[in-house]
A and B are shown apart, each in its own frame.
Chain A
Amino acid sequence: GAVVSQHPSRVICKSGTSVKIECRSLDFQATTMFWYRQFPKQSLMLMATSNEGSKATYEQGVEKDKFLINHASLTLSTLTVTSAHPEDSSFYICSAIRGGGTEAFFGQGTRLTVV
């Protein structure tokens, strides 16, 4: 199956700093990638859809100035959590769907802890 790689897997940062999370599709080109946030024992909440070469589409209630998404190439999307606060601590996970396919491939996820 296709592989999506996400980095880093864990990160601890201080309040007020920014953290960048990378999501790479290793063996296919992904014009669209999805970013999710997941709290313990809860579902995956779609934050935004990352579109290669254009602006991301954010879901209602997600601050686009706080969660910056860049999809500069067909294999890389990044999510930057700016001015992080403890309430931003969560599990962030990306996914991509191969063109024409129906199966979403997920990265390993990033556990962010803001102290």
Chain B
Amino acid sequence: GQSLEQPSEVTAVEGAIVQINCTYQTSGFYGLSWYQQHDGGAPTFLSYNALDGLEETGRFSSFLSRSDSYGYLLLQELQMKDSASYFCAARGTGANNLFFGTGTRLTVIP
């Protein structure tokens, strides 16, 4: 089966840095993705890690450790508009699927 676990909620102050963790168990693994979803909206792609290490895209960075079955999303210089749900996602055996993590609801406070 597929399992991607995330903390359910995180609260952080505007301008700060926050890290959202994801631990996964998948039968087959083809990389870890991260998506952002605002209430009532569709998920939007943030980043993808196929290999171990850190990928940086502006204020967002994502890290993967395949040996630890672990990854995280790092958000810097938090803005109020970053308040949303964040999901890690992975493809399982055969890659003909895309499973999402339990999701983390981020609240940015002034």
- Report the number of A-B residue pairs with Cβ-Cβ less than 8 Å: 52
Q: How large is the interface on B (under 10, 10 to 19, 20 to 34, 35 or more residues)?
A: 20 to 34
Instruction: List the B side residues contacting A108 at CB < 8 Å.
Output: 41-42
Report B40-63 CB contacts with A as 1/0, cut-off 8 Å: 011111001010000000000000
Contact of B97 with A34 in the complex, beta carbons under 8 Å: yes
Instruction: List the B side residues contacting A109 at CB < 8 Å.
Output: 41-42
Assembled-state Cα–Cα distance A103/B43 (Å) = 11
Instruction: List the A side residues contacting B41 at CB < 8 Å.
Output: 108-109
Q: How large is the interface on A (under 10, 10 to 19, 20 to 34, 35 or more residues)?
A: 20 to 34
Q: Contact partner of B98 among A34, A43, A51, A107, CB < 8 A? A: A34
Contact of A104 with B42 in the complex, beta carbons under 8 Å: no
Instruction: List the B side residues contacting A57 at CB < 8 Å.
Output: 96-97
Chain A binding site: helix, strand, loop or mixed by DSSP? strand
B interface residues with partner A (beta carbon < 8 Å): 31, 33, 35, 41-45, 48, 50, 87, 89, 96-103, 105
